Structure 1
Amino acid sequence: MRIAFHTPLNAFDDGRISGDRRMARQLAAALARLGHEVVPITDARAYMRMPDTGALARRQAEADSRRDALLSGWRAKGDAPELWFTYHSYYKAPDLLGPEITRHFGIPYVVAEASDSGRRAEGEWARHVALARSGFCAADLHFCFTARDREGVEAWCTDRTRFLELPPFIAPGLPAPARRPAAGAPRLVTVAMMRPGVKRDSYRALATALERLAALPWSLSVIGDGPARPEVEAMFANLPEGRVSWRGALDREAVAAGLATSDIFVWPGIGEAYGLVYLEAQAAGLPVIAFDSGGVSSTVRCGETALLAPEADIGALGDALARLLVEPALRERMGAAARTFVTGERMLEQASEIIDTGLALALAARARRKAGQQGASAS
Structure 2
Amino acid sequence: MKIAFTAPMKPLDDPVPSGDRTMGRLIVQALELGGHEVRVASRFRTWVKEGGDAAILTRETEGLSEADRITREWEAEGYRPDVFLTYHLYHKAPDWIGPALADRFNLPYAIIEASRAPKRQTGPWALGFRAADDALARADVVGALHHADAECLGAVLQRDRLKILLPFLDTLPFETAADLVIKHHKAPKLLAAGMMREGDKTRSYEVLADALSRCMDLDWSLTVIGDGPNRAYVESLFPPERTSFLGALPPEQMPQHYAAHDLFVWPAIREAFGFVFLEAQASGLGVVAGSTFGVPDIVQDGKTGLLAPEGDAEAFAAHLRALIPDPARIEQLGEEAARHIRFRHTLEMGCARLNAFLETALDNRWQRSTAPRRPHQSSGQPL
The two structures have a TM-score, normalised by structure 1, of: 0.94
- Quick one: distance in 2 between partners of 1:68 and 1:373? 30
Residues 80-119 of structure 1 correspond to what in structure 2 (within 5 A)? 80-119=80-119
Kindly state the Cα deviation for residue 182 of structure 1 after the two structures are TM-superposed: 3.1
Match of 1:177 in 2: 178
SS in 2 for 1:205: helix
Q: Please say if residues 209 and 315 of structure 1, whose CA atoms lie closer than 8 Å, have aligned partners that are also in contact.
A: yes
SS in 2 for 1:50: coil
SS in 2 for 1:41: strand
- Quick one: distance in 2 between partners of 1:226 and 1:285? 28
Residues 126-205 of structure 1 correspond to what in structure 2 (within 5 A)? 126-158=126-158, 162-172=161-171, 174=173, 175-178=176-179, 179-205=181-207
- Quick one: distance in 2 between partners of 1:67 and 1:167? 30
Match of 2:226 in 1: 224
- Quick one: distance in 2 between partners of 1:362 and 1:14? 28
- Quick one: distance in 1 between partners of 2:18 and 2:184? 30
Match of 2:378 in 1: none
- Quick one: distance in 1 between partners of 2:344 and 2:32? 20
Match of 1:323 in 2: 322
Match of 1:12 in 2: 12
Kindly state the Cα deviation for residue 122 of structure 1 after the two structures are TM-superposed: 1.4
SS in 2 for 1:85: strand
Q: Please say if residues 209 and 318 of structure 1, whose CA atoms lie closer than 8 Å, have aligned partners that are also in contact.
A: yes
Match of 1:22 in 2: 22
- Quick one: distance in 2 between partners of 1:50 and 1:260? 39
Match of 1:289 in 2: 288
- Quick one: distance in 2 between partners of 1:133 and 1:5? 19
1:153/1:373 Cα in 2 relative to 1: closer, same or farther (>3 Å)? farther
RMSD: 1.6
Which amino acid in 2 is paired with 1:222?
A: V
- Quick one: distance in 2 between partners of 1:15 and 1:169? 22
Match of 1:242 in 2: 241
Match of 1:66 in 2: 66
- Quick one: distance in 2 between partners of 1:268 and 1:81? 41
Q: Please say if residues 178 and 284 of structure 2, whose CA atoms lie closer than 8 Å, have aligned partners that are also in contact.
A: no
Kindly state the Cα deviation for residue 296 of structure 1 after the two structures are TM-superposed: 1.4
Kindly state the Cα deviation for residue 276 of structure 1 after the two structures are TM-superposed: 0.9
- Quick one: distance in 2 between partners of 1:267 and 1:209? 11
- Quick one: distance in 1 between partners of 2:80 and 2:144? 27
Match of 2:55 in 1: 55
Aligned length: 370
Matched, 1:120 2:120: yes
- Quick one: distance in 2 between partners of 1:139 and 1:274? 23
Kindly state the Cα deviation for residue 372 of structure 1 after the two structures are TM-superposed: 7.7
SS in 2 for 1:357: helix
- Quick one: distance in 2 between partners of 1:158 and 1:183? 52
Q: Please say if residues 180 and 260 of structure 1, whose CA atoms lie closer than 8 Å, have aligned partners that are also in contact.
A: no
Q: Please say if residues 113 and 144 of structure 2, whose CA atoms lie closer than 8 Å, have aligned partners that are also in contact.
A: yes
Which amino acid in 1 is paired with 2:288?
A: I
Match of 1:278 in 2: 277
Kindly state the Cα deviation for residue 173 of structure 1 after the two structures are TM-superposed: 6.4
Which amino acid in 1 is paired with 2:5?
A: F
Which amino acid in 2 is paired with 1:70?
A: I
Match of 2:368 in 1: 369
Indicate the larger mover: 57-66 or 317-326: 57-66
* Structure 2, gaps ≥5 residues long: 374-383
* Structure 1, gaps ≥5 residues long: 375-379
Q: Please say if residues 226 and 249 of structure 2, whose CA atoms lie closer than 8 Å, have aligned partners that are also in contact.
A: yes
The two structures have a TM-score, normalised by structure 2, of: 0.93
Indicate the larger mover: 316-325 or 48-57: 48-57
Kindly state the Cα deviation for residue 184 of structure 1 after the two structures are TM-superposed: 1.0
State the Cα deviation string for residues 136-179 of structure 1 (Å, max 9, x = none): 111111111111111112212346x5222111111246333324
Kindly state the Cα deviation for residue 232 of structure 1 after the two structures are TM-superposed: 0.3
Kindly state the Cα deviation for residue 110 of structure 1 after the two structures are TM-superposed: 0.6
Kindly state the Cα deviation for residue 343 of structure 1 after the two structures are TM-superposed: 1.9
1:177/1:329 Cα in 2 relative to 1: closer, same or farther (>3 Å)? closer
* Overall identity of the aligned pairs, in %: 38
